[in-house]
A = this chain, B = another copy of it.
Amino acid sequence: MNSQSHQFIQSLQDGRNVWINGTKIDVTTDENFIGTLRTISGLFNMIDDPLMRNLVSYPSPKTKKFVHSAFLVPHSYGDLLQRRIAFETWSQTTDGVMSRLSDYARSRLTGWYASREDYKKFDAHFPHKMKAYYEEARDKNLFLSVVQRDPQINRANQSFKDINDLGLLRITKKTSDGVFLSGAKMIGTAAPYSNDLIVYPLTNLKEEQKSIAHMLIVAANSPGLHMVCRESFAANQIKKADSPLSTRYDEMDALLIFDDVFVPWERVLLYDNPDALLQIKLNPASNGLAYHQAIVRLLTKLEFVTAIACEVAEAIGADVYLHVQEKIGELLIQVETIRALLIASEREGKLDQYQTFIPNFTYIETARNLGTKYYPRAIELLQLIGAGGFIQIPSSVQDFQSPLSDLLKKYYKGANLDAERRTKLFKLAWDLVGSPLGSRHELYERFYAGDPIRNIANQYNNYDKKRFKQMLEKHLDD
């Protein structure tokens, strides 16, 4: 049978250069990747499952085969809800802990596709290049990732520094067939699992920096492209019971090194064009649809932390204390605030000139900016509720098979549950609060959308402040 997951796994056996611990490996077999691959495959398989299919996919208008709903161009509130349900389904299956399962990048692409005519003024080829690639990605259900950041070599003012010395990604040669690239990009989240990478710079560039101002689709198996992974958090698959999240949900982050990588012209969407890049990064459909997905996922993740916090509080009998109730109350306030912003963004969505129904970005942006503070605080609250108990967890859920089993059962039980279930619960909590995966997620939520201070400042810069001036008129004008 040629299931979605089978196709997907096959597609990763394409000669890609994935490096970890100094060795080039095959992601479909390496122990560092196998746990996560299994999780992703399960998600992909939902399209094959008659019971799940409608939750996550819709028939491609071209092939009539089912494709993921992230590719659906929404023309109504109902379409937007269909997208939400798909994101929710995947998020709930993965507890909101997997962030970049291609649905974010697919949504970005779908937004650009829907407004592709806007960019004809920058490059006459853009609309049909975009259409061709979007249709290919959609109909093949490609796993896509977006990569934007420059290597962290020197963050000081770089205007007069050497592009090569800073390791910035640049075109080194152009031919009639395409371009050659050198330099590096980070953070390639989920890159080892991706079919294609959508690459463009995070920073807004000036005209004199046009040699690094490109938007490209790069095949993950391009010769010369090296994906250099950080330490895997999922290496120890034997520890699945002790590290239920790390062993299943580690998306991996990779530094992408481009060592003379070729990209054909049809996948060079924009080049040498800082102004076009700025415009395309501000594209309302792409931002609206992509961050809509991000907020749906954030909501599930905050609910997951809250669920654990409730259960831990009950397990140790701490739920009767006012200050613990207040802490969980604060978690619930986070959850309901993000949910309200999501609802408002959908309810106050609008059709744009291309009849794309875009969620209201003010609410999306507010939720996203709150998220950078909410998540670290949620983890801190969970920490404060479990307190010393998180330090004193049995070394493994296997300990209950030891000669000491009876004593452990007696002294590790909780207020309302037995010792083994309590241990599973605390291991689960610790995997968020205390593991490298958990720490990485705290960093991820703070920074995935860019510098949080600048993002909040931009909420001011982009706001229509006219109404505010009118509010003061009666006091200032008489």
Task: Label chain A's interface by main secondary structure.
Answer: helix
Query: A469 contacts B399, CB within 8 Å?
Result: no
> Chain B residues near A457 (CB, 8 Å)?
322, 325-326, 329
From A155, A157, A425, A460, name the one whose CB has the most chain B CB atoms within 10 angstroms: A460
Q: Is the pair B317, A458 in contact by a Cβ cutoff of 8 Å?
A: no
Q: Which of B19, B24, B322, B411 contacts A153 (CB 8 A)?
A: B411
Judge if A26 is at the interface, Cβ distance under 8 Å.
Answer: no
Which residue of chain B has its CB nearest to the CB of A407?
B257
Please judge, given known A-B contacts A153-B316, A337-B337, whether A391 and B476 are in contact too, CB under 8 Å: no
Determine if A278 is an interface residue (Cβ-Cβ < 8 Å). no
Complex alpha-carbon distance, A126 and B477, angstroms = 52
Q: Are B341 and A337 in contact (CB-based, < 8 A)? A: yes
Stretch of A101-109, A211-219, A283-291, A442-450 that contacts chain B: A442-450
Count how many chain A residues have C-beta atoms less than 8 Å from C-beta atoms of the other chain: 131
Q: Is A131 an interface residue (CB 8 A)?
A: no
Is B242's CB under 8 angstroms from A231's CB?
Answer: yes
Given the complex of chains A and B, what is the CA–CA distance between A149 and B389 in angstroms? 11
Interchain CB contact under 8 A, B476 and A413: no
Q: Which of A184, A366, A461 has the most CB of B within 10 A?
A: A366
* Interchain nearest-CB distance for A317 vs B (Å): 4
Chain B residues, Cβ within 8 Å of A408: 228
A186 in contact with B226 given A23-B402, A325-B457, A366-B336 (CB within 8 Å): no
Chain B residues near A402 (CB-CB < 8 A): 19, 22-23
Q: Give bound CA distance, A19 to B407, whole Å.
A: 12
Encoded as 1 (CB less than 8 Å from any B CB) or 0, chain A from 95 to 114 comes to 10000000000000000000
Question: Residues of B contacting A442 with CB < 8 Å?
Answer: 383
- Min Cβ gap A329→B in Å is 4
CA distance A453 to B324 in the complex (A): 11
Asked whether A468 lies within 8 Å of B311 as measured between CB atoms, the reply is yes
Q: Please name the 8 residue pairs, one residue from A and one from B, whose CB atoms are nearest each other, closest first.
A: A22-B402, A325-B457, A307-B468, A434-B439, A156-B317, A340-B344, A329-B456, A154-B317
**What residues of chain A have their CB less than 8 Å away from a CB belonging to chain B?**
19-24, 92, 95, 149, 151-157, 167, 184, 186-187, 226, 228-232, 242, 244, 253, 255, 257, 259, 303-304, 306-308, 310-311, 316-323, 325-326, 328-330, 332-333, 336-337, 339-341, 343-345, 347-348, 362-363, 366, 369-370, 376, 380, 383-384, 387-396, 398-399, 401-404, 407-408, 410-415, 421, 424-425, 428, 430, 433-436, 438-440, 442-444, 446-447, 453-454, 456-461, 463, 465, 467-469, 471-472, 475-476
**What are 16 of the A-B contact pairs (CB < 8 Å)?**
A152-B316, A155-B318, A156-B415, A228-B395, A231-B242, A244-B475, A307-B467, A325-B456, A325-B460, A329-B369, A337-B370, A339-B344, A340-B340, A340-B363, A391-B444, A430-B436
